[in-house]
Amino acid sequence: MERWIRIGPGLAVLALLVLLQWLDPAPMERLRLQVFDMFQVAAPRSAEGDGGVVVVDIDEASIAELGQWPWPRTDLATLTRRLGEAGAAVVAFDVVFSEEDRTSPDALARRQADPAVRAALEALPGHDALLAEAFAAVPVVTATFLDRRPMGRAFEPKVGWTVQGSLPVAHLEAYQGALQPLPVLEAAAAGNGFVSLEGDGDRIVRRVPLVALHRGVPIPSLGLEALRLALDADSPVLLASDGSGQATTRDAAAVAVRLAGREIPVTDAGEMWVHFAASNPAPLSAAPIVTGALSDAELARRVGGAVVFVGGSAAGLQDLVSTPLSPLTAGVNVHAEAARQVLAGHFLQRPDWAGGLELVLTLLLGLTLALVTPRLGALWGAVAALAGIAGVAGASWLAFTQARLLLDPTWPMVAVALVYAVQTVSAYYREERQRSYIRSAFDRYLSPELVRQIAADPGKLELGGEERDMTVLMADIRGFSRISERLSPRQVIDFLITFLTPMSEILLARRATLDKYIGDAVLAFWNAPLDDPDHHAQAARAALEMVARTGELNRTMPGTPGVTWPGEVTIGIGLNSGLCCVGNMGSRQRLSYTLIGDTVNMASRLEGLTKQYGVSIVTGSALAAELSHFALIELDRVQVVGRDAPETIHALLGDETLAATPQFHALAETHAMFLAATRAQDWQAAEAALASADYDALGLAPLQDIMRARVASLRANPPGAGWDGVFRASEK
């Protein structure tokens, strides 16, 4: 059970993480994409050999030179014609020519009121017709912008698709509308492709769609159509999951696009991951080509045999997108990047099994860490967690750089971090609960300082019992039965609380452990659970303070409003030292931190002897030997009830201050003479010693009377020659 408590929190958070990984929430998807972006930034694609694709840029300089966009179609016809004459394999326009040229003669003619002028303009060739002628002379791909709203006419691809398997309609992006080029231009062009680029949730373009659905019909992208013409390929082939030999239980998804012997891996939605290059061949500015500033020879050198993409980076064209390597770049550059990768056979891919592998890693690493962290502890657990995180991150990086695979390290890394954090916090919480339990278990029995020490280091608390040299105190209220007779049960409780509270405060202040309250009695001990080398003196001082505090209460409590005080209260205290067994004892159902042993029993008997000798505090011989600097006098040698061996008992009268007074020295000397005479059966000398000492000055008049009565009894009934001087107590 304890093992499950220790690993349970880690397993619970791991189960939650696995569920979230299966659901793949948007924040984690964005984090995964950002990790892939970091990989691209750290290891961009090499641009070596990218000369087969060239970008002609309608840049700000071209706008400044040729005028506001859109340019006259005659300029674009010149651009197309010159590119064709320079040997461009294909010219793909990332520009949608959806409206007629407003500068065309036929367009101007419609705005003229003068019939002669209108006739003259109508006789001139239209700019769109001139551009169509240029398109017919050069392999050109026109662009279509797709829209999800129903608009425009149906898209008519130049060639159809071959679908191997089922058409993955559940995954491909579907559109109902399209903004298409003028029919005259579309008819003249050799190809037609869509240019819509939809970034991820953070607006960053990471993938280029090669195929989409327009009104249920698969159509090619601008780049794919340009490559089809450049490679003189037949219709492209869309390979679906149910036609690829892969086992699948879900709807058919796109797997790859085949073109001219090349197989391009794609996502379920028919998108190609783009591995962006750090730098590409510098684009050609459009204006020098149109104006002729760029010579035919130089233009042929730059674009001969190449796939040329024409697009705009000028801000006014509104065709700027974000990529992992650039906050803003022309959309035409993204299409060109994709074409370069296809020609180079350089593909990034996230295989179908990636998600399963990542889930297995999450489970494996999370489960391993959940099992080993409780054994390793926080420090080595952190080392194991960091090693797991580093291993996953390193494997993902190697997969990207060596195999161009996109494997997501985030879920396994998050699992390792969270499982470790939860396990560590849980262990800390359990430790705090243990400390809290220790505090709650001991704060009413130990001094606050001892509780703090045990809570800081529970290892100091030996559970199950250990032998220690200890000092034990048993205190009892004299005549409590008579007190109880005069008070109601509620008043008895009020009295005990009023009395025992200050007594307990004294004991705790003297670093005692309060074992238990037995009605009106208190059992306390020293030198456990923590070592206390001064436990003998601490116990003696506590007993003296308890007697003094009782006298103070007798003076202050009677007549106090709301306080039940039964009159003059006296206490008896037994103190003893010796070996005890202390620890958690009891049954499986309930334990108590307590102590047992002959030392404890003797302390109880010594407390009972205080009544028979008329003193407040009686100590055993072992403790008296440790209190030589205190005011102690030997009382007697006694055989207590239930014990065969006699014990030399002492009365504790005060601390070092009293012990240093002449009055105490005189009494101690005389009382010692009395004991010696009594044990020698010299009754006359014993009586003389008793009579000469001032017992009353130290509050020992009752002891004097008791000893005088004993001597009289012994004189009347001599014990005989074999008497050992031991008094045999008849009651506890």
Q: Decide if 180 is inside a domain.
A: yes
Sequence-distant (6+) residues with CB within 8 A of 149 are 176, 177
Sequence-distant (6+) residues with CB within 8 A of 580 are 467, 468, 470, 472, 525, 528, 595, 596, 597, 599, 600
Q: Is the pLDDT of residue 63 over 60?
A: yes
pLDDT band for 247, please (50, 70, 90 cuts): very low
Listed residues 422, 440, 475: the one ending a domain: 422
Q: Over the stretch 200-233, which tens digit does the pLDDT of each residue have?
A: 989 999 999 999 999 999 999 999 999 999 999 9
Residues 387, 338 share a domain: no
Q: Over the stretch 275-327, which tens digit does the pLDDT of each residue have?
A: 999 888 889 999 999 999 999 999 999 999 999 999 999 988 888 999 999 99
Q: Decide if 396 is inside a domain.
A: yes
Residues 73, 113 share a domain: yes
Beta bridge partners, 225, equal none
Residues 173, 59 share a domain: yes
Q: Decide if 184 is inside a domain.
A: yes
Listed residues 397, 422, 447: the one ending a domain: 422
Q: Decide if 459 is inside a domain.
A: no
CA distances in angstroms from 289 to 34, 66, 95, 381, listed in the order given:
39, 11, 17, 65
Q: For the CA atoms of the chain, what is the radius of gyration?
A: 51
Measured distance CA(27)–CA(33) in Å, rounded: 10
Note whether 177 and 151 are within 8 A (CB).
yes
Residues 232, 118 share a domain: yes
Q: What is the mean pLDDT of residues 428-442?
A: 67
Measured distance CA(630)–CA(470) in Å, rounded: 19
Residues 226, 95 share a domain: yes
Measured distance CA(71)–CA(517) in Å, rounded: 103
Rounded to the nearest 5 percent, the helix, strand and coil shares of the chain are 50, 20, 30
Between 370 and 717, name the one with better pLDDT: 717
Report the pLDDT value the prediction gives residue 724, as an integer from 0 to 100: 87
Note whether 653 and 631 are within 8 A (CB).
yes
Q: Would you tell me how many other CB atoms lie within 10 Å of the CB of residue 631?
A: 24
Tokens of 74: 């005659």
Among residues of the chain, what percentage have pLDDT more than 90?
70
Q: Would you tell me how many other CB atoms lie within 10 Å of the CB of residue 203?
A: 9
Report the pLDDT value the prediction gives residue 454, as an integer from 0 to 100: 62
Q: Give the DSSP letter string of 28-69.
A: HHHHHHHHHHHHHHHSPBP-TTGGGEEEEEE-HHHHHHH-SS
| pTM score of the predicted model | 0.64
Q: Is the pLDDT of residue 702 over 60?
A: yes
* Number of domains composing the chain: 2
- Which of the residue ranges 241-245, 252-256, 386-390 would you say has the lowest mean pLDDT? 241-245
Q: Over the stretch 268-287, which tens digit does the pLDDT of each residue have?
A: 999 999 999 988 888 999 99
588: Cα separation from own chain's centroid? 36
Q: What is the mean pLDDT of residues 61-75?
A: 93
Report the pLDDT value the prediction gives residue 104, as an integer from 0 to 100: 81
Q: Over the stretch 111-167, which tens digit does the pLDDT of each residue have?
A: 777 787 677 666 678 899 999 999 999 999 999 999 999 998 999 899 999 999 999
Residues 404, 261 share a domain: no
Residues 226, 163 share a domain: yes
Sequence-distant (6+) residues with CB within 8 A of 621 are 647, 648, 649, 650
Q: Quick one: angle between helices 683-692 and 662-679, nearest 10?
A: 170
Residues 387, 243 share a domain: no
Q: Give the DSSP letter string of 485-513.
A: HHS-HHHHHHHHHHHHHHHHHHHHHTT-E
Cis peptide before 374 (omega within 30 of 0): no
Listed residues 322, 344, 366: the one ending a domain: 344
Q: Residue 313 is part of which domain span?
A: 46-344
Q: Is the pLDDT of residue 421 over 90?
A: no
Q: Is the pLDDT of residue 364 over 60?
A: yes
Residues 326, 186 share a domain: yes
Among residues of the chain, what percentage have pLDDT more than 70?
92
Residues 375, 278 share a domain: no
Tokens of 283: 């684009």
Q: Over the stretch 496-546, which tens digit does the pLDDT of each residue have?
A: 999 999 999 999 999 999 999 998 999 999 998 889 999 999 999 999 999
Cis peptide before 529 (omega within 30 of 0): yes
Q: Decide if 486 is inside a domain.
A: no
Return the biggest CA–CA distance within the chain.
168
Residues 279, 320 share a domain: yes
Phi (first) and psi of residue 125, to 5 degrees: -65, 140
DSSP H stretches of helix in 94-221: 105-109, 115-123, 127-137, 183-188
Tokens of 140: 């050109």
Mean pLDDT (the chain, rounded) = 89
Q: Is the pLDDT of residue 577 over 50?
A: yes
Q: Decide if 248 is inside a domain.
A: yes
Q: Decide if 264 is inside a domain.
A: yes
Classify 310 as helix, strand or coil: strand
Measured distance CA(597)–CA(525) in Å, rounded: 12
Residues 407, 321 share a domain: no
Tokens of 296: 């035919």
Report the pLDDT value the prediction gives residue 455, as an integer from 0 to 100: 63
Identify which of 571, 510, 513, 519 has the alpha carbon closest to the alpha carbon of residue 539.
510
Instruction: Compute the CA torsion angle 504, 508, 514, 518 (nearest 10 deg).
Output: -10
Q: Over the stretch 102-124, which tens digit does the pLDDT of each residue have?
A: 888 777 777 777 787 677 666 67
Report the pLDDT value the prediction gives residue 444, as an integer from 0 to 100: 57
Q: Is the pLDDT of residue 453 over 80?
A: no
